[in-house]
Every structure is written in C-alpha cells, then in structure tokens.
C-alpha cells in the first residue's frame, strides 16, 4: 500500500445472485488520496460510484482488495446523501447537534464550533426552523454541517445536490468550496455532472460503465479560490470537453 491519507488498492465488488449471473459492480479500483484533497467520482449511471463510496464509508464490504484509512475509524466519517435525511421533528440546531448527542460529545467547545459552522453555511438565522420550513438547498446545508459537527476527517458526499435545480446547485457548489477551504477536510464527492466535478475538484476520477473501473484520473488545475467567474474561463470549458470525451 502507499502512504496516502486514503489508499484504495485492487478493490472489487461482486453482488451474488442465486437466480441469475453474479453482477460485478467494481473491478480493480486503485487510487491514493491525499489529506485535504477534493476528489470527485464521475461516471454514467450504474458504474458503481455510490457503491465505491459505501465501501469507503464501511457501509458495504469489498469482494476483494484493501482500503487503508489513516484518519482513524471509518465510523467517524461524515456522510451526506442525496436526501438530507433530517429528523422532521427537530429544528436546524437540533439536527446539526444530533451526532454530538449520540456520540456523547456535546460540550461547550463543540457547540461553539457548531455555531461557527452554521454561520459559515449561512444558517445562523434559521436555527429554530424545522426542515419543512427550509428550501431543499438549505436542508442540504444542514446535512453538511451535521456531517462536520463531530470534526469528521473525511466527508463522503453522494450526489448531495442532484435533486436541486441548476441555479441552487451552482450556488451550493460555491458554498461547499467555502466550507471545504475553511475546514480543510478531505472530500470525496459522487456526481453525474461534468461541470460540477470540474468546478469543485482537485482531481476527477472518471469511471467506466459496469463493471466500474477507473478510466482516468484528471487533475483540475484551475485557480483557487473558485467562484462564478471560474465557470466563464476558457480552462473550465476545456476541462469539461476533455472529461466528456473520456466518458464518451
């Protein structure tokens, strides 16, 4: 194994089925991820992007290969899904605080850090609001803050903005980068959107159709910090074209 923050070596995933042929979801996945990197996983539907994320997060077992995480226990990872999965009877503050409560880490210091995260996410004025009173984008911001509330070293994000309209999605991409730059967390982000992957990432992992393999890892050398002007620069367009050509 290498010496990266997260090492994925020869990972394979097969779903067994007694009534039909086995399904090979992932084959020969190898990648080394540095601490503090923003990595996007891009590919067509059914290529195993979410399966790989679940394996990294310990929600699925591999059928072969090794994963080495130097950041600690995988139970300490932060996970953000496409649905915000907020508790409807709890307000914004209570939802964001919930992991600290169940992990018995509700201390004045951690509550202060949580206040800062809510401020950073633009949610400070909505602490008493219930999920039904929030827009979809705001609910996803709460989910991101919740995932960061216990100082998770690695944040796994499975198409968190996929169900949102394009304008809200673009805005939340900018907000997410602000949170990432401020916290310095390592993020692995699954997306179907080429433009989203280009805008957010240090590197984009492009996967093939099933069985999912890594076709290419593309470094995105666009200047940071990135904002709306990034989408208008020639380099942004060129990266989008190149990624699209790989996916085919």
Query: Would residue 137 count as lying in a domain?
Result: yes
**Which portions of the chain are predicted below pLDDT 70?**
1-3, 71-75
* C-alpha separations of 44 from 90, 106, 216 in Å: 36, 41, 14
pLDDT of residue 73: 60
Per the domain annotation, does 123 fall within a domain?
yes
136 inside domain:
yes
What's the number of domains the chain is made of? 1
Looking at residue 155, its pLDDT comes to 95
For residue 135, the enclosing domain spans 86-151
Task: Compute the distance between CA of residue 207 and CA of residue 44 in angstroms, rounded to an integer.
Answer: 8
| In-domain check, residue 7 | no
Q: What pLDDT was estimated at residue 69?
A: 86
How confident is the model at residue 174, as a pLDDT? Answer: 94
Q: Is residue 65 part of a domain?
A: no
Do residues 197 and 191 lie in contact, with contact meaning Cβ atoms separated by under 8 Å?
A: yes
Residue 91 lies in a domain: yes
Would 192 be classed as within a structural domain?
Answer: no
Q: What is the pLDDT of residue 2?
A: 58
Residue 17 is assigned to a structural domain of this protein: no
Taking a C-beta distance cutoff of 8 angstroms, is the pair 152, 100 a contact? Answer: no
Question: What is the pLDDT at residue 239?
Answer: 98
What per-residue confidence (pLDDT) applies to 71? Answer: 61
């Amino acid at each position: 194994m290498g010496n990266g923050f997260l090492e994925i070596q020869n990972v394979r995933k097969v779903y067994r089925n007694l009534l039909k042929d086995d399904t090979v979801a992932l084959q020969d996945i190898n990648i080394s991820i540095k601490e503090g990197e923003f990595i996007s996983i891009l590919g067509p539907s059914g290529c195993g992007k979410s399966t790989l994320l679940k394996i990294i997060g310990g929600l699925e077992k591999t059928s072969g290969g090794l994963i080495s995480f130097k950041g600690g226990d995988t139970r300490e990872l932060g996970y953000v899904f496409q649905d915000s999965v907020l508790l409807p009877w709890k307000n914004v503050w209570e939802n964001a605080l919930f992991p600290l409560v169940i992990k018995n880490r509700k201390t004045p210091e951690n509550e202060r850090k949580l206040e800062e995260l809510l401020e950073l996410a633009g949610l400070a004025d909505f602490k008493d609001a219930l999920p039904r009173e929030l827009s979809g984008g705001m609910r996803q911001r709460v989910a991101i803050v919740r995932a960061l509330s216990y100082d998770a070293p690695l944040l796994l994000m499975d198409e968190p903005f996929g169900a949102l309209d394009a304008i809200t999605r673009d805005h939340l991409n900018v907000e997410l980068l602000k949170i990432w730059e401020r916290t310095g967390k390592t993020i692995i982000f699954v997306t179907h959107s080429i433009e989203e992957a280009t805008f957010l990432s240090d590197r984009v992992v492009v996967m093939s159709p099933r069985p999912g393999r890594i076709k290419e890892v593309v470094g995105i050398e666009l200047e940071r910090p990135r904002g709306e002007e990034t989408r208008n620069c020639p380099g942004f367009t060129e990266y989008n074209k190149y990624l699209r050509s790989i996916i085919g």
